Amino acid sequence: MDMSICLNLHDVLLDEKNIIQKLIECKSESFKGFNVIFWHKDLKEEDIKNFISRNQEDLFKLKTHIRKSPKTVWFLVVTDESMKKINSRYHTIGSIDFGIDNYRKVCSHINRRDGK
């Protein structure tokens, strides 16, 4: 089971270096599959391409996907009302930082439960 986390790309762009660093830390703590899904709504293609070119190496390491409408994710950080349509196993409502912290808590609990 991949422990995917889905974040609103618009919010990520507001503090991308900090958020990407936190995601890299999450990946290093993950014992199961890890990937990041950046959801976007109404972002210009040019903004997305610039984001990718600025962070290409890190995005590759994180196994990143950029989607307009992901069907299902493992952990969803809801920062926009329209994100509530995305199916998820777990979710949190709040800021990206708050969501990543909660994601790490859930992963830590699962790793302890599974004895890893």
Q: By the 8 A CB rule, do 37 and 70 touch?
A: yes
Its pTM stands at 0.90
Q: Based on the structure, what is the number of domains in the chain?
A: 1
Alpha helices in 1-116 (DSSP H): 9-12, 16-29, 45-61, 96-113
Q: What is the mean pLDDT of residues 69-96?
A: 90
The answer on pLDDT for 95 being more than 70 is yes
Given this model, what pLDDT does residue 44 score?
94
Given this model, what pLDDT does residue 1 score?
52
Which among 26, 25, 27, 52 is positioned nearest to 38, based on CA atoms?
A: 52
**Structural domain harbouring 31:** 5-113
Given this model, what pLDDT does residue 111 score?
77
The answer on pLDDT for 113 being more than 90 is no
Residues 39-70 have pLDDT tens digits of: 998 899 999 999 999 999 999 999 999 999 88
Angle at 92 between CA 16 and CA 77, to 5 degrees: 30
The answer on pLDDT for 110 being more than 80 is yes
